[in-house]
Structure 1
Amino acid sequence: MRTYFLLFLLSLGLLSKAQEPYVNLNSPHNSVKTFLANLQPENHNDSLAAQPFLTSNRDMKSARKTAVQFKRVLDGRGIYIYFDEIPKSPNYLDSASKKNKYILIEEYKDIFLLKADNGKWYFSDSSIDAIKELYKETFRFGTGELLNLLPKLGTKKTFGLYTYQYITIFILALISALVYRFFAFFTERIFSRIVKKFGYEGEASEKYLWQIARPTSVLIIVGLLLLFTPALQLPVTYSKYVNIILRVMMPLFGTIILYRLVNIISVFLMRMAQTTESTLDDQLVPLLRKTLKTFVIIIGTLLILDNLDVPILPLLTGLSIGGLAFALAAQDTIKNFFGSVMIFVDKPFQVGDWITANDVDGTVEEVGFRSSRVRTFRNSVIYVPNGRLADNTIDNHGLRKYRRFYTQISITYDTPPEMIDVFVKGLRKIVEDHPKTWKDNYHVYFNEMSSSSLNIMFYIFFNVPSWGEELQARHEILMSIVRLGKELGVNFAFPTQTLHIENLPGQPSLSPSYMSGHDAEMKLESMFKK
């Protein structure tokens, strides 16, 4: 079981007031022990603690300053020194460099000890520079000066903490509460003005702005605590977990802010989509919102794991391999996703269009990541995979400018030729007078002599936007045709068969009689001379 350095010192009695000065630099273990044992509150001797930093090219003053700064960094950042892992061998060799070198903290490889010619172990010159930079990074904006001021508030120790630490914690809690209220109000005002400037007052500000203002205030407080907590010099056990919590809260609340900010962005995009003619944009905004939220969650999770010192590169490598296996197992899902992308890019249809694609026939209600929802004319709903829609031939009835109406009007064989002409003229007049027909393209002609009727082709187009209006226009046209036939006395034919009995006893014969061929030739000649 690993024993932390602090517990090791306690077990040896190094923290007691009767502790004898300890100086031994003959191994990495003893050099680190010399440094830390002489900087304990009950046994503080920075001159002895500076011995591992004191070489021929450094003076005592700079060595003492470096030792104190390094100790403050360890306490401020909550860095454990696992004392039982430090090698005790005077001739220790680093396995990587094959030199008498020992890296004290794995996360800070620039800080290490080297064996000098005299056989003693000292912190290297590069370690001194790294400690100075690490000190500046830990105590930013002059917070290091608080280390000289705060102990003056009281040094009595209670439950492991000094009086000045309790006072400072109370002050930080009070300041955090005030900052939270101030910045929540201030942030909400800023976002509200920005929203009003772009003309989105009410819709976004009332629903989403306060949800952003509160986590933004917490994020600012966490930043302040990260700035001032190292100056408290809490016990390393407390400091370690406080730093972990604060480091996790930074990306956590940053992720929450961006996640909720996506809602405001989607409101702006939805308003822009409403200004376009295409209704497909209205479906693109929800998809974009979901995509952005997923992206924010993934990035936020990676940042949180990174702040927990979880190796990200091996994780991403494992995810990439797993992603390849997933891609092979989920080819249809990926195909449908790219199918939805192609639908949004090519825009073969939009929401509200009536489409036909193989056995799919209905009105598009929604386009999603994986599938599209189509309402059939039976009022049922079909969910069609987007990959299938992207591959199929789509007949978009919704893009029609004119809607075709074609039918055959059948009249009886006993209708006189002159009446057929008049009837056809009347049909054309109906088309020309109707307000919703395409006047430049229609065809009404006596077109066919079928087995039981004379057929007139009626081929026209309606200039209407929806199927319901098309049905209404059809109704009006057909009613006008029925009225015309009744007015002119034209009889509409239906499939019939007539039985003629040519000869009955005592009755005139019904067998047809024909003129001679010569008389027929003369009749034909006189007919075409007219």
Structure 2
Amino acid sequence: MSKRLCLVFIFFISLFQHAHPQLITDNELPSSIEEDVNLNSPYHTTLTFFYNLDRNHFFPERAAKTLDLKNTEGDPEELAIKLQQIFEGKGIVIRTSEIPNDANFTDSTANGEQRFYFDKVKLPAIFLDKVGNQWKFSSFSVAQITDLHRETYPYGTDRLLNILPKIGTSEYLGLQLWQLAGITFLIFLTFLAHLVFTFLVDKGLIYVLDRLGYGYIGENYLLPVAKITSFYLIVLLLSFLIRILQLPVEIYAWIVPVFDTLKPFLITVIFYKIVDVVAAYFASLAAKTESTLDDQLVPLIRKTLKALVILVGTLFVLRDGLNFDILPFLTGISIGGVAIALAAQDTIKNFFGSIMIFIDKPFQVGDWVTSGEIDGTVEEVGFRSTRIRTFRNSVMYVPNGKIADAVVDNHGLRQYRRFFTTLTITYDTPPELIEEFVKGLQEIVLAHPKTRKDYFNIFFNNLSAYSQDIMFYIFFEVPTWPEELKSRHEILIQIVKLANTLGVRFAFPTQTLHMESFPEKNGLTPAYPGEAEYKTRLSNFLNSELRKKNS
């Protein structure tokens, strides 16, 4: 750590040692200034103010004459010094070549008023006004100095501005002794804060969560958030303290934007990580529900929230770090949004269609749906389209707007699945055998574990051209089509076994030529044993099936 500390210290010294500790650039400082201040133009007022507050020409009583003290209480010299510290703390570089040297200067962006702004983005409240024949810092600006100073140096850090210089003002490597001591302390504080936060997060937080049984959540979700938060706190601490060193403004000119960029950037990363934590929580809730649609909703919410976080974070980085005025940008987006909305009506329709699907829940992932040419199993519901796997194993991408307007037949929501067929038996089957056969069919349905027992229809129903027809109308209580097919298979196997046991013959379309019977030959019509034999056979069949099931 000591080696790393030395390297960072050398970097800071090499960076600062050639910087001149003044706010005015372009080397346009006059060789001398008379004791009477010059306030004839914004240019001369600016030179008078900053030149007399330079540490090599420190005359705060002259600088105070540039302030319009009307309706303002307080020590003028103290207010002048605070104003200079505000410029330094905000990292505002005054370029004399850009300051108008015109006694009658007017600002075209301020309704033609005789006013000059130094920086309308960072310091919109500090400007020069022409008072009579003199240009001064406006009374409004002077009234804001105390509040702006407190905002620039918050939490009482402004007191250090008067305490630290007492350490020593001797210059070494272009910096005063107290500034070098402050830089060393900040570097040490940075490493110390990093070690403390690392210990608290890696050791303390994970240890506590392990004891509570949430070790996996802490390590995979909370730990990344805590680490980024620790970096943000360090950056926030440094941004407060580094202003106290009153380093050359040329350094602040790039240090302040770096900190102003890092703060919204790290906050954006923190919220980006928090989205993962929130999504994991909702995913755990979705896993406890029977619906599979909310399982699809969680990834969509996560992607949407992350996109929103990135968008908002980018705007704050542009505004705070790069001083980009986002209001015209947002206005342009709102105006352009109307044109985009008109050009993307189908996309918007599909988006709201997806919202209606998630609200109404007409189907969920895994359901078999039918709607016009749509026939298949729902695989995924997105914000624009729904993916459906057809029974040809192809994939259909159906716009959600079309689904929201269509009539959807959801086979997956059926509590019972109907099975209807007609059992055709030959015309030579006697009524007694038909009666026993129908009874056997009913017992098969009642014995099957996945059939509906309170409602089914099995009756001798019709006499067709070539057969006697038995209606077989039952319902299966199964969730999926493969299970329905399996239950059909089991039922049909039992029907065939029953028919073979009772001697029932199934009919099919045939033409039979009947000839007169010959005495020496038997006829083709089978001989049936009678009702008593049929009952015996049915009883034996049912007892046999019952023994198989029990075994």
- TM-score by length of structure 1 reads 0.85
The answer to whether the 8 A contact 1:112-1:127 is kept is: yes
Tell me the number of residue pairs that the alignment of Structure 1 and Structure 2 aligns. Answer: 492
Q: 1:200 to 1:331 in 2, by over 3 A?
A: farther
Residues 58-457 of structure 1 mapped to structure 2, 5 A cutoff: 62-95=75-108, 96=110, 100-107=114-121, 108-117=123-132, 119-157=133-171, 160-187=174-201, 201-307=214-320, 308-457=322-471
Bigger shift: 355-364 or 33-42? 355-364
State how far apart, in whole Å, the 1-side matches of 2:100 and 2:198 are: 52
State how far apart, in whole Å, the 1-side matches of 2:48 and 2:58 are: 11
Partner of 2:485: 471
Q: 1:192 to 1:338 in 2, by over 3 A?
A: farther
SS in 1 for 2:83: helix
Cα RMSD of the aligned pairs, angstroms, is 2.8
The answer to whether the 8 A contact 1:54-1:63 is kept is: no
State how far apart, in whole Å, the 1-side matches of 2:443 and 2:462 are: 21
Q: Which amino acid aligns with 1:50?
A: A
Which protein has greater RCO, CA pairs closer than 8 Å, 6+ apart?
2
Partner of 2:5: none
Q: 1:116 to 1:145 in 2, by over 3 A?
A: same
State how far apart, in whole Å, the 2-side matches of 1:370 and 1:58 are: 62
In the TM superposition, what whole-angstrom CA distance separates every residue of 1:170-227 from its partner, at most 9, and x where no partner exists? 3212211221222244356786589679x77133212122211211011101111121
The answer to whether the 8 A contact 1:55-1:122 is kept is: no
Partner of 1:512: none
The CA deviation at 1:83 is 2.3
The answer to whether the 8 A contact 1:185-1:213 is kept is: no
Bigger shift: 356-365 or 225-234? 356-365
The answer to whether the 8 A contact 1:21-1:38 is kept is: no
Q: Which amino acid aligns with 2:190?
A: S
The answer to whether the 8 A contact 2:23-2:248 is kept is: no
Partner of 1:482: 496
The answer to whether the 8 A contact 2:71-2:139 is kept is: no
Question: Which residue of 44, 53, 76 corresponds with 1:30?
Answer: 44
SS in 2 for 1:43: coil
The answer to whether the 8 A contact 2:25-2:94 is kept is: no
The CA deviation at 1:155 is 3.7
SS in 1 for 2:458: strand
The CA deviation at 1:250 is 0.8
Partner of 1:496: 510
The CA deviation at 1:80 is 2.0
State how far apart, in whole Å, the 2-side matches of 1:195 and 1:271 are: 18
State how far apart, in whole Å, the 1-side matches of 2:229 and 2:221 are: 13
Q: 1:189 to 1:387 in 2, by over 3 A?
A: farther
State how far apart, in whole Å, the 2-side matches of 1:234 and 1:56 are: 32
The CA deviation at 1:290 is 1.4
Bigger shift: 19-28 or 38-47? 19-28
SS in 2 for 1:455: strand
Q: Which amino acid aligns with 2:271?
A: L
The answer to whether the 8 A contact 2:68-2:139 is kept is: no
State how far apart, in whole Å, the 1-side matches of 2:368 and 2:70 are: 88
Bigger shift: 393-402 or 351-360? 351-360
State how far apart, in whole Å, the 2-side matches of 1:58 and 1:327 are: 53
Q: 1:373 to 1:481 in 2, by over 3 A?
A: same
The CA deviation at 1:36 is 1.1
Bigger shift: 204-213 or 362-371? 362-371
State how far apart, in whole Å, the 1-side matches of 2:80 and 2:447 are: 101
Q: 1:379 to 1:76 in 2, by over 3 A?
A: same
SS in 2 for 1:40: coil
* Structure 1 unmatched runs, 5+: 503-530
Partner of 1:515: none
Bigger shift: 157-166 or 45-54? 157-166
State how far apart, in whole Å, the 2-side matches of 1:180 and 1:341 are: 45
Bigger shift: 101-110 or 256-265? 101-110
The answer to whether the 8 A contact 1:259-1:297 is kept is: yes
State how far apart, in whole Å, the 2-side matches of 1:168 and 1:445 are: 100
Bigger shift: 31-40 or 143-152? 143-152
Q: 1:181 to 1:374 in 2, by over 3 A?
A: farther
The answer to whether the 8 A contact 2:366-2:378 is kept is: yes
Bigger shift: 61-70 or 127-136? 61-70
The answer to whether the 8 A contact 1:343-1:390 is kept is: yes
The answer to whether the 8 A contact 2:24-2:50 is kept is: no
The CA deviation at 1:40 is 1.7
Q: Which amino acid aligns with 1:171?
A: F
Partner of 1:516: none
The answer to whether the 8 A contact 2:24-2:95 is kept is: no
The CA deviation at 1:116 is 3.6
